[in-house]
Amino acid sequence: MRIIFAGTPDVAVPTLSALNDSKHDVVAVITRPPARRGRGKKTFPSPVAQYAADHGLELIESSRFTDPSLQHDIDAYDADLGVVVAFGAIIPPSVLTMPRLGWVNLHFSDLPRWRGAAPVQYAIWSGDARTASSIFQLEDGLDTGSVFSRLPVTIDPSETAGELLERMGRLGADQMVATVDALADGRASAHVQDTDGVTYAHMLTPVQGFIDFTQSAAEVSRHIRAFTPNPGAWTVLPDGKRLKIAGAEPTDQPTLGTGLLQVTKHEVMVGCADACVRLGQVAPAGKGWMDAAAWARGARLSGEERVGVMATEE
């Protein structure tokens, strides 16, 4: 089949690569324009754009499917199917009907649970033990279309959102090729999503990354894992500066008091509502990631400081 692929971040690349290596023909790749990042604010192509350029695929960079020029190009490709993985924009109804078989989306949740922009993050944050990759038919609704394929995935208790998303991206690539094969052969069938159990995973904001140490150690750990690497989990030090935290292991050690630090030569503990968490990697304001114990030694902490327990203004 003639396929138009739409995607932007790293997690979309495995599916694009698998389709490009399959018997199908990727006639065009749509991705968002280069973005500025880093301290120098240099522009970089999206990971999908880089893959397309490296493999000689037709590339279109656009931030919205409402762009008349993009719509003209999509219609002109006379595609059989559109495939979407984490593009980052809504496809309007007029574009959904352009490919002969419409568009299918690889979504990293067990639909109808966690419809929306951040399903992996919310699954971890909420303490879900399992999730799934779902491939569904795009329609005029937020992740509401009928599901062609569901691939169950167990969430590791120590896994961050970034790690889980990377793993699901790899697993979902073969799942997508199998679904496209079935669509091409007329073997595909889809089931309508259940109306019960619908939940929404709205886009996360940096403010939500603030860690509330008045929660249990398990809840604090899930929060940090869910916000790692983006948009990031953080707290406030006694001097008012932010400290980013990536990884906090729940322990059986009785709580020291919410937000209180216990610093030893080899570890940094923080008190939560019921127990302590052991900090992993941290990043002080303006500095890179380092082991929490190394940070504590350099910061010359007394071990009796309390980190913020209430969110501060941005």
pLDDT digits (tens, 9 = 90+) for 44-66: 999 999 999 999 999 999 999 99
- 197, two tokens: 């159990």
* Dihedral over Cα of 117, 121, 123, 129: its sign: positive
pLDDT exceeds cutoff 60 at 310: no
pLDDT exceeds cutoff 80 at 38: no
Kind of pairing, strands 2-7 and 25-31?
Answer: parallel
Query: Considering the chain, what is the average pLDDT of its residues?
Result: 94
What's the predicted TM-score (pTM) here? 0.94
Distances (CA, A) of 139 to 104, 167, 197: 9, 27, 20
The residue ranking higher by pLDDT, 40 or 214, is 214
How many CB atoms are closer than 10 A to CB 78? 12
- Give tens-digit pLDDT for 67-110: 999 999 999 999 999 999 999 899 999 999 999 999 999 999 99
DSSP three-state, residue 12: helix
- What's the DSSP call for residue 312? P
Q: Please give the pLDDT value at position 42.
A: 85
d(CA 136, CA 149): 7
Structure confidence at residue 40 as a pLDDT band (50, 70, 90):
low
d(CA 167, CA 57): 25
* Dihedral over Cα of 120, 121, 125, 126: its sign: negative
d(CA 57, CA 28): 7
